[in-house]
Amino acid sequence: MYSLTRKKSEPHKSVALELTKISLVTSLYVVVTIMFAVLSFGVIQIRISEMFNYLALYHKRYVVAVTLGVIFANFLSPTWMLDVPIGGIATFLMLILSRFITKNIANDILKIVITAILFSLSMFTVAAQLTLLLHLPFLSTWLIVGLGELVSMTIGGIVIYLLSKKINLKS
């Protein structure tokens, strides 16, 4: 009888654990973005919280977690009215694309490099917002924001790679 009761409760524990992991990463994204707010928004931005993008390479639950983190954090953006929906959708799509492109690659470092490049190129969405709202030149803004993203993704890639050697991020 005990084993039947225990098996019935396991799905609830599993759902609770998944929601806890999603909530933790979402919260971490927001807190790290706020801690480094001076670097997180604007033309010159090095959003350290972008390191959490790499978690999506290890488990699909983190696609939701990071997307929610971006949405919540972007409410603090000076361009929040565009940054919340566009940033949220762009992040979601780039996380899905990164998972898809790297799913058959065994080398974690190569996965990280590919993901960093994809996210850096995707900064045209931020550049377009800044161009539209602040009347900044698109190409130079894309270059600057993209380089900032590459720096933050490189730093974050190193952190997540080292962390993945100590913690099983796939479970």
Residue 60 has pLDDT above 60, yes or no: yes
Q: Which structural domain, as residue segments, surrounds residue 104? A: 2-166
pLDDT of residue 4: 39
Count of the separate structural domains present in the chain: 1
pLDDT in tens, 34-55: 999 999 987 889 999 999 999 9
Inside any domain, residue 171: no
Inside any domain, residue 6: yes
Q: How far is it, in rounded angstroms, from Cα 66 to Cα 52?
A: 7
Q: Kindly give, in sequence order, each residue whose CB lies less than 8 Å from that of residue 50, ignoring residues fewer than 6 positions away.
A: 119, 149, 152, 153, 156
Band of pLDDT at residue 8, cut at 50, 70 and 90: low
pLDDT in tens, 120-148: 999 999 999 999 999 999 999 999 999 99
Token reading at 116: 């960093």
Q: How far is it, in rounded angstroms, from Cα 117 to Cα 150?
A: 7
Residue closest to 44 by CA, chosen among 145, 155, 154: 145
Inside any domain, residue 65: yes
